[in-house]
Amino acid sequence: MKAIHDIAVLLSDGTLDPHLRAIAGKVADGQRITNDDALLLFEHGSLSFTGSLANYIREQKHGDNTYFNRNFHIEPTNICLYTCTFCSYSRLIKKREEGWEYTHDEIMDQIRKYDGQPVTEVHIVGGVLPQYDVAFYTKLFRAIKDHRPDLHIKALTPVEYHYIFKKDKLSYEDGMRLMLEAGLDSMPGGGAEIFDPEIRDQIAGGKCTGDQWLRIHEIWHELGRRSNATMLYGHIEEYRHRVDHLDKLRQLQDTTGGFQTFIPLKFRNENNQLSHLPETTAIEDLRNYAISRIYLDNFDHIKAYWPMIGRDMAQLSLSFGVDDIDGTIDDTTRIYSMAGAEEQNPALTTEQLVDLIRRVGRKPLERDTLYNVLHDYTDTVFESDNEYKGYVSLPVTN
């Protein structure tokens, strides 16, 4: 931990732009920065400046603690009614034969593959199709809980919920209550993209609006449950749209306190309608993590999704505000591998994940979905014969 020294150096730098110095002063005093401050950071904050402030906040909140969890992903289908221009993963209904559509039984087979393995969470998200309706998902959640009550179900986003509730003429409140009763534990952060209506319309037209996304999370938080939030950046949005997105999240968090973690998602440009756009640089990605950490003072955690950004960037991000690297040990998601993610077959054993964190001087903590610490790996010595090394890979069925 050296962030306190770094911020003292920043504040004593007489050559620093006065506006940036004022922002550094706010951070040192634990004050909230404004939207104008955030825009200034996006436009003029250097990597070292934003990084020092973000690392200071990260270490004030968490010291060297770095969280990961053991989960697996299930994607019921990659066929989708929508045509988000950034999406490399979905196939239109007219090309149905190119994708996959798992039945209830096939999904339960995937759940059973992890029997006896120390996973704590299943993350379920995929395309939007009429057969995956309220009845399908409530039956699925009940079956998962009957089979394995301790497995935390983190599933679906307001994109799916908005669609299935509308189809069944259910209010958001009644719909989310049904999901809660069926066993849903928390909601992942997907589907947020960018809330600004003009940009959202161009990249994700037809699916739930930003306000609807926020409202469904609000209702879920009012039911006493937690969720995550994301922002898809680095496509056609401008910095002011990122600030607007962060502002809406911070405002809702002030009201409900129900968000656990914020996950910036860098746009990847392979195999989609926005492939002509260049991807953001590593410097921009680190600045984006850092500014998110500085702005979202009411979010406990900032997560970097390592299968998407790769192991080296995941290590670097831990000095730019990130305190959680997700940690899917045997990742079965194809949302990113099909879009050009760094990790095409992302799989790290617990030992490798712990090593990755320890080698940059941080403290590896396995958590459950709600950030209860399950195991502190700081001093763990791994012995190959008795230490669990990873998960079986699921067969690719499409």
Shortest CB 386 distance to ligand V47, Å: 30
Span between the terminal Cα atoms of the chain, in Å: 47
DSSP letter assigned to residue 303: B
Q: Cβ–Cβ contacts within 10 Å for residue 294, how many?
A: 26
SS3 content of the chain, % helix, strand, coil (to 5): 45, 15, 45
191 binds ligand V47 (CB under 6 A): yes
342 binds ligand V47 (CB under 6 A): no
128 binds ligand SF4 (CB under 6 A): yes
DSSP one-letter string for 34-56: -HHHHHHHHHH--HHHHHHHHHH
DSSP letter assigned to residue 360: T
263 binds ligand SF4 (CB under 6 A): no
What are residue 232's DSSP bridge partners? 265
| Sole binder of ligand V47 in the list 99, 188, 327, 364 (CB under 6 A) | 188
144 binds ligand SF4 (CB under 6 A): no
DSSP one-letter string for 241-261: HHHHHHHHHHHHHHHH--EEE
- What phi and psi, each to the nearest 5 degrees, are found at residue 208? -55, 150
329 binds ligand V47 (CB under 6 A): no
13, 52 contact by CB (below 8 A)? no
What are residue 152's DSSP bridge partners? 121
Q: How far is CA 190 from the centre of its chain?
A: 7
- What phi and psi, each to the nearest 5 degrees, are found at residue 42? -60, -40
Shortest CB 249 distance to ligand V47, Å: 13
178 binds ligand SF4 (CB under 6 A): no
Edge-to-edge strand ranges of the sheet holding 65-68: 65-68, 363-367, 373-376
Shortest CB 123 distance to ligand V47, Å: 6
| Sole binder of ligand V47 in the list 52, 77, 78, 88 (CB under 6 A) | 88
272 binds ligand V47 (CB under 6 A): yes
58, 66 contact by CB (below 8 A)? no
Alpha-helical runs (H) found in 152-209: 158-167, 172-182, 197-204
Q: Cβ–Cβ contacts within 10 Å for residue 386, how many?
A: 6
Select the span of 83-91, 279-287, 314-322, 370-378 touching ligand SF4 (CB under 6 A): 83-91
Closer of 127 and 321 to ligand SF4 (Cβ): 127
Shortest CB 85 distance to ligand V47, Å: 9
Q: Cβ–Cβ contacts within 10 Å for residue 202, how many?
A: 15
Select the span of 76-84, 215-223, 282-290, 304-312 touching ligand SF4 (CB under 6 A): 76-84
Residue number closest to ligand V47, CB atom: 190
Closer of 40 and 357 to ligand V47 (Cβ): 357
Q: Which one of ligand V47, ligand SF4, none is in contact with 263 (Cβ closer than 5 to 8 A by kind)? A: ligand V47
339 binds ligand V47 (CB under 6 A): yes
Nearest of 280, 335, 333 to residue 122 by alpha carbon: 333
Shortest CB 87 distance to ligand SF4, Å: 3
The Cα–Cα gap between 68 and 325 comes to: 6
78 binds ligand V47 (CB under 6 A): no
What does the per-residue mask of binding to ligand SF4 show for 190-229, with x meaning CB under 6 A?
Answer: --------------x--x----------------------
Shortest CB 243 distance to ligand V47, Å: 18
Closer of 49 and 301 to ligand V47 (Cβ): 301
167-to-103, 158, 164 alpha-carbon distances in Å:
20, 14, 5
| Sole binder of ligand SF4 in the list 40, 80, 176, 296 (CB under 6 A) | 80
346 binds ligand V47 (CB under 6 A): no
Q: Which amino acid is at 7?
A: I
Select the span of 56-64, 170-178, 259-267, 294-302 touching ligand V47 (CB under 6 A): 259-267
Residues engaged in binding ligand V47 (CB under 6 A): 86-88, 188-191, 193, 228, 230, 232, 263, 265, 267-268, 272, 305, 326, 335, 339
Which positions touch ligand SF4 (CB under 6 A)? 80, 82-84, 87, 89-90, 127-128, 159, 204, 207
